[in-house]
Chains A and B, each alone.
Chain A
Amino acid sequence: MKRTVYAWLLLGLMSFVFLPWHMTRDGFTSFQWLNDGSPSSGLFMVLEASNWWLIPTGLAFVASLLVQFFVAAPVARAKITLAIAVMGLFATVLQGLVIVVNGPRAFTGLLSGEIVQAGQQSMGIGAAVCLISLLFAFSVSLSQSGKGQGDAFVTSTIALIISLVAVFVFFPVMHILIRAFEVDGSLSLIGFFPRFFSSEIWGLNCLIGAGSCGPAINSLILATMTGAGTTALGLSFALIFTRTDFKAKKLLRILTVLPIITPPFVIGLALILLFGRTGAVTEFFAEMFGMEKTRWLYGFWGVYFAQMLSFTPIAFLVLIGVVQGVSPSVEEASQTLDADRWQTFRYVSLPLMRPGIANAFLLGFIESIADFGNPLVLGGNFSVLSTDIFFAIVGAVASPTKAAVLAVALLTLTLSAFMLQRMWLGKKSYATITGKADSGQNAGLNPVLRFICYATALPWAALTLVVYSMIIFGSFVKLWGYNHSFTLDHYIRAFGFDFSRWRFTGVAWDSYFTTLSIATIAAPLTAIIGLATAYLLVRQKFWGKEAFEFSTMLSFAVPGTVIGVSYIMAFNFAPIELTGTSIILIIVFVFRNMPVGVRGGIAAMSQLDKSLDEASITLGANSFTTVRRVILPLMGPAIMAALTYSFVRAITAVSAVIFLVSARHNMATSFIVGRVENGEFGIAIAYSAVLIITMLTAILILQGLIGVRRLRRTDRVQPSA
């Protein structure tokens, strides 16, 4: 353990002496400084540019290294190192916030002097390595000083995740949320309450049939119904997969994945072409039965319909792992005790699926509340929080205050859903994967239940199939909905390739490559951070765990528009300047999608019996080895879900990305949205079709790589005799 601290401190000191402290004009990771011979390390800045405020950082490393050499008592040594590291971190962060070349300056007037006022550029690679070294020196020392269970791996992971969430979620989001409390330039709680409890937000008029409700109430009703609906459908699918001998499982599996890999707006557009006033289905019914062609699709029901199509797969992804995990032995026990299949399902299997159901509902609820594309296309006069927030920021009358207040309303709803979910789950144990042998035969469903599952899931699947045939069809016709003569023009314009000159000539290639590379980098990072967080939440006990759990959900619950604008406000200026780079896109994806990894991880991990960990630890493994050799192999579906979801979301996310894309790093969705705005549906849909196929291929490859979790020798369903 002493060696670990020693290594981190040495690394920090080296980077303080050798690596450039500030960001260079050419960028964060440019290695230009190696060649041009002008050192700009922290030490150099202190000596040559009189940046005296960097001295504490350097001193912290030197002092704590000396402590390692000269203090022999382990606990005392750890405690002193801990104190020095905390001071070093504090001093480094403070100087970064106070002394900046432009942009907002924290604690103005705290320090004065000419060099301070001139400011400094953003932090570079040197500063980053120094901060990380100090952080780990801190966490490792903390684990040795008698707190944090003495496990350096666990303490360091907690410290790292908290720091990352603080820097990349709280720090930016504060920039906007604070506006909700701002009255004439100063902060005030009194100003906030009347704004927040305004009937414009929470109006209940629609319930008494007198006009429309406020956007918050609309969002709440919509999200509750979507959460419940998608969870029920997702459960139906999961049950069909695991508890029936349904023949076309493979096809069904692909259908359940399709909606998540669909770029925004596309489902809405397809629904308009099917069920809009001049849609194919509407025309058919008008012709056959003389039904009046109406605009029912535009409003609550249209948005709900589109969300059910879009978000059921997320519920399914969370539930499938959990439903598979329910051990057959408890079901056998139930049947041995003379329960019939319905009783077994109702009183044994279903309660054990609670973590999955609760997490699926929460995800569906949050997704629905944050959904922006569907309400925009199909909302009509039905206004929800996410679109209202978007237009409070980019509309004809931009009002950051209104956006902030609405965002707080949205967060309140999410927080309440989160609390309710916690209460419902309670403190029961849902562990069913215990490592003990069982027959591997899950109880089949009773006939009524099986019929209900088929009756709900199969029409949904059929509708999905129709919607996607429409999309593929739309990309091959001249003018979707009007001129249905066959053409390849859209594909050629978007993805043309000149074989004679060996050049990509299509207009979409640029953003296509950017999107794929950014998604490929972001997905594994998201999965690692998400699952690590889930591990901490399920398996470790530490102070402030509930707050920590909610804070990891925050970035997901904050609407994308708010995230996008707050990222510009926070990361366009020193100390962290990332706008216009690809890093900011990767970061926004990682922290926005990590909650899915967390939720899926929690659901899967709460089924793993703790005795498995304990057995591993008893046999002499440390917690890192336990995670790697015992927990990870049992987490296949959760890893798969996290990877798939984050990869796909990085490709299909829209509202946050609009603000963060730049000419060098443009993304597919911003390209598609631009085309849709201009009414060029053909090329937008052709691009979407290519993206869907790309993602489908990627998912199949992932599935091949990760493989199927082997819980028992055979995964059979009890014959339904």
Chain B
Amino acid sequence: MKKISAISALALVSATGAFADDLNVVCSTEQAWCDMMVSAFEEKHPDIDVQMVRKSTGETLAQVRAEAGNPKIDVWWGGTGDPHLVAAEEGLSQPSGVSTDGLLDWAKNMSDISDKKTVGIYAGALAIAYNADVLEEKNIAPPACWSDLEDERFKGEIQVANPNSSGTAYTELATFVQLFGEDEAFVKLASIGENVNSYTKSGSAPSKAAARGETGVSIGFMHDMVKLATQGFPLIPVAPCEGTGYEVGAVSIINGARNFDGAKKWVEFALSADIQSRSPEVGVFAVPSNASAKVAPQSPDLETIKLIDYDFATYGSSATRGRLLERWDAEVGSKAN
């Protein structure tokens, strides 16, 4: 990975594509985590040369779709589970055959509903975050529940992503439906919408805006918020009192992978307790899927957060998704200015 020679310029010009004995990994989590995984894997399997590139889940899914039939990617590691499930549904990934014993239930569930084509590696709860400085200056009491967000005191202070473009926001939509029932959920989302200043395209944008004080309150994944807070921003994550949904980060082997053996070794490695315990080293505070992995003290404790029994099979399917988004457009999105 890190072999850089002064004559790299020469080597770059040569038009070499993928070599069969390399393992081509696309990583959809944070760069530092990706880098750590690669160096740890190469240490354990010195015979395999890992070629890793970081791309977001949407970009990866688009690429995997376009390359179907002659894929250049062997394994897709990390990133929220929905696109992994879509890939499984469309036959773009294949079962790894790696045992899921010793994993937590939500990780096994991921494997079960996808015909063993994708496995959970970490989970992150959906949460509200607020900028303590902004709310203090404006004299607004911090939110504790989803329903607080409907209150007029948050007028123009809430930022959340658009579920049509962001998986994070879709998780929020599905969570509301599962928490409150479909009709009630849309009423709530519409009245929260009265306070929303903009529906961003990207799912991680609202929390970043809240960290800098560009908005007062954001909705997103808790481990991202914890990370921003540890960087020094006055951002406080809140686990909503009604309960909340969560995402499961996943790993899949691409259908037609040139190096299946290497990819399988990668999946085994990614599910092992050793490597999962090391993620806090690079500032990642998601909850690991291996039951025996150590959890960092900063990680949101899923035991104390009221987690709903998120139904990935139903809400991950294209039919439900299409229907809910259409309704969201009509009842929530269309009212945004």
Binding site for B on A (CB under 8 A): 25-30, 102-103, 211-212, 272, 276-278, 295, 298, 376, 379-381, 387, 390-391, 393-398, 478-479, 481-483, 503-504, 507, 509-510, 513-514, 516-518, 521, 565, 568-569, 572-573, 577-583, 658-659, 661-666, 670-671, 674-675, 677-680
Binding site for A on B (CB under 8 A): 2, 4, 8-9, 12-20, 24-25, 30-31, 35, 50-56, 58-59, 61-63, 65-67, 69-70, 72, 82, 134, 156, 163-167, 169-170, 197-202, 204, 208, 211-215, 224, 227-228, 231-233, 321-322, 325, 334, 336-337
CB-CB < 8 A to A212: which residues of B? 336-337
**A394 contacts B228, C-beta separation under 8 Å:** no
| Given A295-B214, A396-B82, A568-B63, A581 contacting B15 (CB threshold 8 A) | yes
CB-CB < 8 A to B334: which residues of A? 211
Given contacts A211-B337, A666-B53, 5 further A-B contacts (CB under 8 A): A277-B214, A295-B197, A295-B198, A516-B9, A677-B56
**A276 contacts B16, C-beta separation under 8 Å:** no
Q: Considering only CB atoms, which chain A residue lies closest to B231 in the complex?
A: A479
**B336 contacts A573, C-beta separation under 8 Å:** no
A211 to B334: give the CA distance in the assembly, Å: 9
Q: Considering only CB atoms, which chain A residue lies closest to B197 in the complex?
A: A295
**A394 contacts B58, C-beta separation under 8 Å:** yes
**A580 contacts B17, C-beta separation under 8 Å:** yes
**A664 contacts B166, C-beta separation under 8 Å:** no
Q: Considering only CB atoms, which chain A residue lies closest to B16 in the complex?
A: A27
**B31 contacts A379, C-beta separation under 8 Å:** no
| Given A513-B4, A679-B231, A582 contacting B213 (CB threshold 8 A) | no
Q: Considering only CB atoms, which chain A residue lies closest to B66 in the complex?
A: A568
**B233 contacts A482, C-beta separation under 8 Å:** yes
B165 contacts which of A391, A572, A579, A658 (Cβ < 8 Å)? Answer: A391
**B67 contacts A568, C-beta separation under 8 Å:** yes
Q: Considering only CB atoms, which chain A residue lies closest to B54 in the complex?
A: A674
**B62 contacts A278, C-beta separation under 8 Å:** no
| Given A513-B8, A581-B17, A661 contacting B201 (CB threshold 8 A) | no
CB-CB < 8 A to A582: which residues of B? 12-15
**B18 contacts A396, C-beta separation under 8 Å:** no
CB-CB < 8 A to A483: which residues of B? 232
B72 contacts which of A25, A513, A580, A583 (Cβ < 8 Å)? Answer: A580
CB proximity of B208 to chain A, nearest CB, Å: 5
| Given A391-B201, A483-B232, A659-B63, A678 contacting B212 (CB threshold 8 A) | no
CB-CB < 8 A to B2: which residues of A? 510
Q: Considering only CB atoms, which chain A residue lies closest to B58 in the complex?
A: A394
A556 to B280: give the CA distance in the assembly, Å: 44
Main secondary structure of the interface of A (DSSP, over half): loop
Q: List 5 A-B contacts (CB under 8 A).
A: A28-B15, A272-B214, A277-B215, A503-B4, A581-B17
A363 to B202: give the CA distance in the assembly, Å: 28
**A517 contacts B166, C-beta separation under 8 Å:** no
| Given A27-B15, A582-B15, A398 contacting B58 (CB threshold 8 A) | yes
**A387 contacts B13, C-beta separation under 8 Å:** no
CB-CB < 8 A to A573: which residues of B? 69-70
CB-CB < 8 A to A481: which residues of B? 212
**B67 contacts A678, C-beta separation under 8 Å:** no
Closest 4 A/B residue pairs (Cβ): A394-B58, A663-B51, A391-B165, A395-B165
**A479 contacts B232, C-beta separation under 8 Å:** yes
CB proximity of A520 to chain B, nearest CB, Å: 8
**B62 contacts A397, C-beta separation under 8 Å:** no
**A572 contacts B70, C-beta separation under 8 Å:** yes
**B211 contacts A679, C-beta separation under 8 Å:** yes
**B31 contacts A674, C-beta separation under 8 Å:** yes
CB-CB < 8 A to B24: which residues of A? 662-663
| Given A27-B16, A396-B82, A662 contacting B51 (CB threshold 8 A) | yes
A319 to B170: give the CA distance in the assembly, Å: 47
A395 to B214: give the CA distance in the assembly, Å: 24
A380 contacts which of B15, B20, B50, B198 (Cβ < 8 Å)? Answer: B198
CB proximity of A566 to chain B, nearest CB, Å: 8
| Given A395-B166, A397-B325, A662 contacting B53 (CB threshold 8 A) | yes
**B4 contacts A504, C-beta separation under 8 Å:** yes
A519 to B301: give the CA distance in the assembly, Å: 47
A390 to B201: give the CA distance in the assembly, Å: 10
CB proximity of B105 to chain A, nearest CB, Å: 25
| Given A27-B17, A482-B233, A568-B66, A394 contacting B12 (CB threshold 8 A) | no
CB-CB < 8 A to A396: which residues of B? 58, 82, 163-167, 169-170, 321, 325
**B67 contacts A572, C-beta separation under 8 Å:** yes
The interface centre, meaning the residue of A25, A583, A679 with most chain B CB atoms within 10 A of its CB, is A679
**B66 contacts A513, C-beta separation under 8 Å:** no
Q: Considering only CB atoms, which chain B residue lies closest to A584 in the complex?
A: B15
CB-CB < 8 A to B224: which residues of A? 679
CB-CB < 8 A to B156: which residues of A? 295
CB proximity of B251 to chain A, nearest CB, Å: 17
A103 to B65: give the CA distance in the assembly, Å: 12
**A102 contacts B14, C-beta separation under 8 Å:** no
CB-CB < 8 A to A390: which residues of B? 201
A682 to B88: give the CA distance in the assembly, Å: 37
B59 contacts which of A211, A295, A394, A578 (Cβ < 8 Å)? Answer: A394
Q: Considering only CB atoms, which chain B residue lies closest to A26 in the complex?
A: B16
**B202 contacts A376, C-beta separation under 8 Å:** yes
The interface centre, meaning the residue of B18, B69, B165, B321 with most chain A CB atoms within 10 A of its CB, is B165
CB-CB < 8 A to A658: which residues of B? 55, 59
CB proximity of B10 to chain A, nearest CB, Å: 9
A663 to B54: give the CA distance in the assembly, Å: 8
CB-CB < 8 A to B214: which residues of A? 272, 276-278, 295, 298
**A276 contacts B212, C-beta separation under 8 Å:** yes
CB-CB < 8 A to A659: which residues of B? 59, 62-63, 66
CB-CB < 8 A to A577: which residues of B? 17, 70
| Given A278-B214, A663-B24, A507 contacting B35 (CB threshold 8 A) | yes
**B56 contacts A298, C-beta separation under 8 Å:** no
CB proximity of A668 to chain B, nearest CB, Å: 13
The interface centre, meaning the residue of A211, A579, A664 with most chain B CB atoms within 10 A of its CB, is A664
B201 contacts which of A387, A569, A664 (Cβ < 8 Å)? Answer: A387
Q: Considering only CB atoms, which chain A residue lies closest to B35 in the complex?
A: A507
Q: Considering only CB atoms, which chain B residue lies closest to A503 in the complex?
A: B4
**B72 contacts A572, C-beta separation under 8 Å:** yes
CB-CB < 8 A to B215: which residues of A? 277, 295
A513 to B204: give the CA distance in the assembly, Å: 30
**B31 contacts A517, C-beta separation under 8 Å:** no
CB-CB < 8 A to A395: which residues of B? 58, 164-166, 201
Q: Considering only CB atoms, which chain B residue lies closest to A481 in the complex?
A: B212
A521 to B334: give the CA distance in the assembly, Å: 48
CB-CB < 8 A to A565: which residues of B? 62-63, 66
CB-CB < 8 A to A478: which residues of B? 232
A380 to B52: give the CA distance in the assembly, Å: 33
A610 to B65: give the CA distance in the assembly, Å: 52
CB-CB < 8 A to B164: which residues of A? 391, 395-397
A446 to B325: give the CA distance in the assembly, Å: 60
A579 contacts which of B20, B35, B58, B67 (Cβ < 8 Å)? Answer: B67
**B213 contacts A30, C-beta separation under 8 Å:** no
The interface centre, meaning the residue of A579, A661, A678 with most chain B CB atoms within 10 A of its CB, is A678
**B16 contacts A664, C-beta separation under 8 Å:** yes
A276 to B4: give the CA distance in the assembly, Å: 40
A670 to B35: give the CA distance in the assembly, Å: 15
The interface centre, meaning the residue of B51, B62, B82 with most chain A CB atoms within 10 A of its CB, is B62
**A583 contacts B67, C-beta separation under 8 Å:** no
CB-CB < 8 A to A25: which residues of B? 20
**A398 contacts B61, C-beta separation under 8 Å:** yes
CB proximity of B120 to chain A, nearest CB, Å: 19
CB proximity of A380 to chain B, nearest CB, Å: 4
